[in-house]
Amino acid sequence: MTSQTTPSGIAIQIACALAEHFFGFPTPDGRTAVPLDATALVAAGRLDLWQGWAAQPEAIRHLVGRFLRVRPNEVGAPRRFTEAARALCKDSDCPYEAPEDVPDDEVVAVLARHGQQPLDLVARLLDEAEVKYAQSRSPLPVAGPGRWKFGWRGESIVDLPSTVRGAVVDPIVLDTTPAAAEVLVKPEDLRLLARDIAQRRGHEPWRDDVLRQLLAGLRDDQEVVVHELLLRAGGIRLLNAPTGVGKSVLIGLLALHLARSGLPVTIVVGTVSEAVELADKITADLLALGSSLRCTALVSPRRLAEKAEQAAERGQWDRFDALAYGCALAPLVVDGPKPVAPDEPCTGLRAAVEQPGRGRKQQPTPRHACPHLAVCGRHHGLRLAAGADIITTNHHNFVHGTVPVPVRVDGVELNRLPVQEFLLRRCAVLLVDEVDLLQSNMFDAGARQLRLAASGAPVDLPLVRLDGERAMLLPAEDRAVVPPLTRTRFLADQFLNYVLEGDLWLGDSNPTAPGPRKSAAVGVDSGWHLPGSRDRMLLKHLFKVDDSPEDGPDEAVPAEVYHQFNTLFPDVGGTGGAELPRWLRAVANLLASAVSNDNGQDQIKEVRHRLHGVLARHVPVEEDRREVANALLVRTWLGALHQALTRLTFAVAAPGTEMPAARALAEQLGTVAQHQAIPYGPLGYLLFGFRVDRVEDPRPGGNLSVQAVGGDPHTTIAQLGGTVALAAAGVQRVVLGLSATAYFPGAAREHIRAGITYAMTDATPGAFTTLPGHALDAQFQTIRIGGRAESGKAAAILALGKSLWEQLDLHLRGLPDTERDRERCMLVGNSYRHAALLGAGIAGQVPDPGWVAVVVPRHGHPPPVVLPAEVVLVTVDDLESLPARHPQVKVCIAPLSVVARGLNILVPGHQRSALASVWVCVRPPTQVTDSAEMFASVNAHALCRDTSSSDPVAVWAEQRKRAFARLFHILTSDPRFSRLSRALKSESVAGMLVDMIQLAGRARRGGTPVQLFLVDGAFHDPKYGTDMPGLLRYYYANLTPVERRELRRTYGSTLGSWLDFAGIGHEENQ
């Protein structure tokens, strides 16, 4: 039972009191009833679904924000909240009680018995909750003179001198900036500012020209010319404009204008490098203006050393001086390795001699802060940011960064303050560049990973450390941890053994027969695998669910059939059921025995043999039977492991002792992860995925990792200035998101759930052209990469590169004389290996291999592809300087994901793109069963009709229903692109279009035209319903009239180019 004095218990009571105020209703006997589903909605942070929320006074919004800040994440899960609330209401001291005549598991409303105004109760409970919140986040004690250990298992010892005795770490002082209800900006003010800066710096007023064209093309949501920018607090305002028209210029000038008006501004950009460069540019503008305002880049301390090293390599010594630092502990190390960036033990010092706690077993000494933390250069930027007028940071740091230095927030000292809260408290206005990329990245960043098991090399595993730390628990605490921990370790270790020995397999090449482990190339892994990702194949063989024709999508699986199917697995349905035929009940019993470990013996071979026997009559083809038996065992094993992990994370969060491994486990798997205002999407729980990575050095082995995907990126972005800002700062904020692709219905990861406030239509005819590329093999057949078996892709990509040069040569020679300084093209594949293979193919055909540049990884070894010595190898960090440093290069080849956004490859000395065309050589992959991709699809489908209502609970329930329907649809689909339903193909195509529009934007800086060539034969082959024109026609036909109108308004000639490519005529485009 959840105690009413724990943080979760207090949060549940506050949610009940808020729901009583908003949604309570009288009972026949005069009492007030509070519906639990509405209370769960409040706890989940989804009051934005209620029409009445917009009319609430600021004081009530502030109360809700305070509540969401202190509410533990797990309270935001609907099922867990309902269970905990029902249990809590049994407590006689709880201010709410369940009806006496209703069974516990049927309680849908609780009754108030506190005798107060509900908001008075909220205020009292919030005071109590905030005290506990501050206590749990109090700053660490500071290490004093003596010996301290740090590192993995404390292998390093540092001897602190007596001069640090009594050292204190002064906190960063951060006071919440008052809210700005709205911001009104006149375009002429921005243009005057641009001209003033240009005059003072002695530059041509090119920014004024860019801004004039951008602002002249902007229209509001009524298609009216924009004469002023009106930005209101709450939610998010969106500005969509083509790549290369000046959004970055607008961001910089808007930030300067607002800061000069007394409004602190945060600018969130894609990468650390962008943040640092933008801060340098704005600082230069401030100096030219003679302003005392300050701009600083807020960089994660873990990235400072890397960026300082890059600055030194490029001779950027001013930037190096700003970023570089040294560790004061390094000369004081007396044993073991010295601290190495980025893993300095700033907050990880522990006493070298541990002391047992009074009245209990020995406990680990608590972590202490370095006595130099307050003056360390590693954290100097954080202190500058607290007083800066303009702050720049990158997407990842904004979403997941924390401040490792104590911060005094409105008089209360806190440790590990989230960067997001830091910025939303400091700044009244938030400008987000590439806002759709931020949302997309949140699906990946929200996928927390943890290594569960390892073989072949010594690895620090949280489960192993947790097992060791159990010795510090008292029996009453240990007994709750032992069952889930031992079961999790058994399932994880044994599953890894089975995969490495070939008894089971995931997505890697399955052995032809069970047997000894086979050697694998370094880095070979299975990809992320969700329990249930092969359900479609199992349903086909076990329940005779019809498979579709080879050229059509799979048919829907009846829900009752899927329910029967689930009863096969012990983690979902037990051990079969009476509704199953006898032979399937036998299958269910065998699967339960496989993961039971009751007899303490390894019985996988026997279970698999008996499974084959039971399946023989019903799955007669031996190869199919092997796949079915393997898929059944894998689903059973991973489902049981998922269940055990869930139980373990809740068990280790309960003990009152500090166990570092328990904290790491719970943080990674979402129990006490970094706080989120909206911690769960419509599913209401985390999605788990598993992966096996094989290694060969120092000996054959591998690792088993788990990935937990959570959060609600769609709603979080849409509510960045509303619910999210309230939970972080207690006030709403003005948020403006900018992108070239913020509005794109159907793109699960990128489409922002908010209307476009301002749009600049891409109206220039011929600015964007989509064309087919041609690459033929020796038999004059189109070379197809997408859909080809992985084993045959390398040779095919190499052949495509060889064949493509002839067309590339004609294209580059055909550029007008006025475009000779743009005689370059960019080719993309899906990986660094694809880029190297394309480079090898083309380099063998060009007159000079030095015309070819291939992008290689920043770290590690380049792909094992032989390239001529003359080929230029560059990292993505050096691409922007490519035309100046390597002017002879005509063909640049890179992975799509690396170059799709943010790069400005310009003609030296000009603001025009140095690229004339972009060639997509390999169709982007569709990874519908990848956990982050699946979560994005489920979330997007659930929120597709996300509108506020007078009955928000009904809307929320409908979202949850759609989420489960989409999850069911994906899990019962064949993951091959050709076999996906048209709905899933359409979703994939929408995502591809976003990527390609952004990719083509690399060649559109300064308003230059671009030609986008689709080369892979998979783009054009209609045989399996995967051709791009056919998919585009299906996608467009299924848009609503409103969505079509918004797309035409937003993308103009770019949309027209795609429709022309798909053969969609003018009449259809209405």
d(Cα 209, Cα 777) in Å, to the nearest integer?
Answer: 48
Going 287 to 293 to 295 to 296, the CA torsion angle's sign is positive
Same domain, yes or no: 589 and 602: yes
Type of residue numbered 454 = A
How many structural domains is the chain composed of?
5
Average pLDDT per 10 consecutive residues for the chain, totaling 1070 residues: 80 97 95 96 97 96 97 89 92 93 91 95 97 92 94 81 94 96 96 97 93 93 92 96 91 98 97 94 97 96 91 90 93 93 90 61 73 93 96 94 94 94 98 96 76 81 82 76 90 93 73 40 56 85 71 62 88 64 92 87 91 94 93 93 82 57 63 72 84 74 83 95 97 97 94 94 83 87 86 92 93 82 92 94 94 89 86 90 92 92 83 90 83 88 86 94 87 78 89 91 82 92 84 91 91 90 70
Same domain, yes or no: 891 and 906: yes
CA triple 150-673-934, angle to 5 deg: 125
The DSSP secondary-structure symbol of 73 reads: G
d(Cα 974, Cα 549) in Å, to the nearest integer?
Answer: 12
Given this model, what pLDDT does residue 363 score?
A: 53
Same domain, yes or no: 357 and 497: no
Domain harbouring 434, CATH code? 3.40.50.300
Residue at which a domain ends, from 136, 151, 185: 136
Q: Is residue 493 part of a domain?
A: yes
Spatial CA neighbour of 833 closest among 815, 806, 857: 857
Residue at which a domain ends, from 728, 752, 776: 752
Helical pair 380-387 and 301-313, crossing angle rounded to 10 deg? 100
Neighbouring residues of 278: CB distance < 8 A, sequence distance ≥ 6: 248, 252, 267, 269, 297, 392
Same domain, yes or no: 647 and 691: yes
Given this model, what pLDDT does residue 509 score?
A: 44
Q: Is residue 184 part of a domain?
A: no
Contact by Cβ (8 Å): 709, 935: yes
Same domain, yes or no: 829 and 852: yes
The DSSP secondary-structure symbol of 391 reads: E
Same domain, yes or no: 285 and 414: yes
Contact by Cβ (8 Å): 943, 958: no
Going 947 to 949 to 953 to 957, the CA torsion angle's sign is negative
Q: Is residue 285 part of a domain?
A: yes
Q: Hey, which residues does 142 pair with through a beta bridge?
A: 369
Tokens of residue 134, six digits:
């501050």
Same domain, yes or no: 432 and 492: no
Type of residue numbered 968 = F
Given this model, what pLDDT does residue 525 score?
A: 52
Same domain, yes or no: 747 and 645: no
* Structural domain of 485: 459-709
Q: Is residue 314 part of a domain?
A: yes
CA 655, chain centre distance (Å): 30
Neighbouring residues of 317: CB distance < 8 A, sequence distance ≥ 6: 311
Same domain, yes or no: 529 and 668: yes
Same domain, yes or no: 788 and 914: yes
DSSP string, 529-574: B-TTTTHHHHHHHHS-PPPPPTTSPPPPPPHHHHHHHHTTSTTTT-
The string over 44-81, giving b where at least 16 C-beta atoms fall within 10 Å of a residue's C-beta and e elsewhere, is bbbbbbbeebeebeeebbbbbbbbbbbbbbbbbbbebb
Given this model, what pLDDT does residue 653 score?
A: 61
Same domain, yes or no: 369 and 380: no
d(Cα 17, Cα 934) in Å, to the nearest integer?
Answer: 36
Neighbouring residues of 42: CB distance < 8 A, sequence distance ≥ 6: 15, 18, 19, 22, 64
d(Cα 1065, Cα 1070) in Å, to the nearest integer?
Answer: 9
Given this model, what pLDDT does residue 512 score?
A: 39
Prediction pTM value: 0.87
Same domain, yes or no: 529 and 612: yes
Spatial CA neighbour of 748 closest among 436, 1002, 459, 978: 436
Q: Is residue 931 part of a domain?
A: no
Question: Which of left, alpha, beta for 738 (phi over 0: left; psi -120 to 50: alpha)?
Answer: beta
Spatial CA neighbour of 897 closest among 799, 842, 997, 830: 830
The CA R_g of the chain, rounded to the nearest whole Å, is 30
Length, in residues, of the chain: 1070
Q: Is residue 201 part of a domain?
A: no
Q: To which H or E segment does residue 920 belong? A: strand 917-920
Q: Is residue 801 part of a domain?
A: yes
Neighbouring residues of 497: CB distance < 8 A, sequence distance ≥ 6: 455
Residue at which a domain ends, from 85, 113, 136: 136
Q: Is residue 675 part of a domain?
A: yes
Report in angstroms the alpha-carbon separations of 644 from 638, 641, 693, 916. 10, 5, 22, 55
The residue whose two tokens read 């007023």 is 205
